[in-house]
Amino acid sequence: MNDSAIGIEVRNLRKRLRQNQALDGVSLQFSAGMMHGVIGPEGAGKTTLLRLLADLLHPDAGEIVFRAGGEPLSFETVRAGLAYMPQQQSLYPDLSVGEHLDFFRDLYQLPTTTYAPRRAELLEITRLKDFVDRPAGQLSGGMYKKLGLMCALLRSPRVLLLDEPTNGVDPISRREFWDLLYRLVGQGILVILTTAYMDEAERCADAHVLHRGRVLASGDPQQLLADAGVDTFEALFLAMAQEPAVD
């Protein structure tokens, strides 16, 4: 493992949003350089967790510890290497793919020597190089998500937070998107994504199942299924969600 790869430990996180206890004592380990899936239905606390990791919200209790090479890091140290892609993209429908990349180049203040090869690489691996002049508002759902991902990747992040990136994407584009994510993990990037699709849990190195702000299960997907004696994460979730909470 690259000593510069970043891992994250979440300890007893609690967060209340108005009358909703969004997170209720969540503790998780996100090992560096791996694909982690945070799985759960709407209202499970997935988005709140990502926003806390991105420092867009602050916990009511608990802590988030970033580490590289076994040593703790401040969030200020991590910030420049962390990218967050929200569920609802805020791309500009009238700007083309290329214009979006140029906009984020200026936003991130990337020098030409860094930006030009990175732009070419991202257009190649996302298969959008033939669509650089197409406005975002005319892209398919899968292409639109890929454009959002490209904008997040321009700074070459070490931590990538993705909030339901495959939601509303057709099956073929979902498969292409996952192939792209595996490629990123192969580069040593820590990828944490949320999804309401239970079947996507098995695509991750570690799966973390949330329900009503609490962790139902966490670990290797196949081991979790074997331990529960079930074949799918739908069955695992239904069985565990019915168990009474333990305080």
The SS3 call for residue 49 is helix
Look at domain 1-81+157-169+177-247 and name its CATH class: alpha beta
Residues 45 and 59 sit within 8 Å (Cβ to Cβ): no
**Residues lower than pLDDT 70 in the chain:** 1-3, 243-247
- Round to whole Å and give the CA distance between 215 and 51: 17
| pLDDT recorded at residue 246 | 47
31 by Cβ neighbours in 10 Å (0-12 / 13-18 / 19+) ranks as middle
What is the amino acid identity at position 44? A
The pTM for the full model equals 0.91
β-partners of residue 209 are: 39, 217
pLDDT tens digits, one per residue of 18-59: 989 999 999 999 999 999 999 999 999 999 999 999 999 999
Q: Look at the alpha carbons of 55, 158, 72, 23 in this order and tell me if their dihedral is positive or negative.
A: positive
- Round to whole Å and give the CA distance between 163 and 151: 15
| pLDDT recorded at residue 94 | 95
| pLDDT recorded at residue 9 | 97
Q: Residue 178 has which token pair? A: 């996952």
Q: Residue 56 has which token pair? A: 């867009």
| pLDDT recorded at residue 244 | 57
- Enumerate the domain spans of the chain: 1-81+157-169+177-247, 88-156
| pLDDT recorded at residue 96 | 97
Q: Residue 142 has which token pair? A: 């899968």
